Amino acid sequence: MKRIILLALSAIAPIFITGCVTGGLGGAYHVVAYAPHNPDAVRVYVSKSKQQVYVMEGDRCLMAAACNVGLPDKPTPSGHFNIEEKIPDKRSGSYGFSVSGGMVTACDAGQCTGSYVGYPMPFWCGFEPGYGFHQGYVWPVPRTHGCIRLDKQVAPRFYELVHEGTPVDIAETQPLDSTVGQNVQRPSDYRDPDPAPSYMISDGPFQKPSGNLLIQQ
């Protein structure tokens, strides 16, 4: 069910771009995020055509990374938004699993024959009812139901960089595509095997990374 969501390392190594660090080919996907000097000055920009997210503080790049946006028939909304809520251990209210006895099967909410458990959406940062940034598999093509998925290396850092009220601009293209966005590489986590359904209904997907997520500079 990674087609809907979640975790995994990719195969990528670091390169430097305009103050940001992102993944390059050859090792684990690696993204560096810098702590803002003024959290109230942080702005988020999403390029739907590039499937990239930029977290900026003025002209200072705090983080630039690949993301995954909505399918053509379930598009990620465009426009100006704000982060409305942050929930580290959120589960989907629309898609998930039916749990009955020892059986765990995928289902839509409202169509389950057993107890419903939503898909895990770690590090949820909602910007519009039903839409948000969260951890998940990042495909090279639009793949979500409208949310913006972030790799497991990116999602916890994004969660730390934004706060309720942080402005979010989502558009087909962004001016940053031709500057900061030129060297952003993509993870390959979408190639990894699906996690077992038993794992998806456990607390496993909500493990928190250790150490400092943001670099002080």
Tens digit of each residue's pLDDT (9 = 90 or more) over 161-185 = 999 999 999 999 999 999 999 999 9
Segment 36-78, tens digit of pLDDT: 999 999 999 999 999 999 999 999 999 999 999 999 999 999 9
Determine, yes or no, domain membership for 5.
Answer: no
Q: What pLDDT is recorded for position 30?
A: 87
Q: What pLDDT is recorded for position 7?
A: 34
Determine, yes or no, domain membership for 211.
Answer: no
Determine, yes or no, domain membership for 146.
Answer: yes
Write the CATH number for 139: 2.40.440.10
Determine, yes or no, domain membership for 51.
Answer: yes
Cα–Cα distances in angstroms (integers) from residue 146 to residues 76, 196, 210, in the given order: 4, 24, 30
Determine, yes or no, domain membership for 88.
Answer: yes
Say if strands 115-128 and 103-108 run parallel, antiparallel, or are unpaired: unpaired
Segment 20-38, tens digit of pLDDT: 766 544 357 889 999 999 9
Task: Tell me how crowded residue 85 is: count the other CB atoms within 10 A of its CB.
Answer: 12
Burial of 189 (0-12, 13-18, 19+ CB in 10 A): buried
**Structural domains of the chain, count:** 1
Q: What pLDDT is recorded for position 22?
A: 62
Determine, yes or no, domain membership for 208.
Answer: no
Structural domain range at position 49: 12-202
Q: What pLDDT is recorded for position 103?
A: 94
Cα–Cα distances in angstroms (integers) from residue 190 to residues 55, 78, 142, 151, 186, in the given order: 23, 25, 12, 10, 10
Select from 148, 186, 212, 180 the least CA-distant residue to 57: 180
Determine, yes or no, domain membership for 108.
Answer: yes
Residue entry with tokens 């969260």: 134
Determine, yes or no, domain membership for 16.
Answer: yes
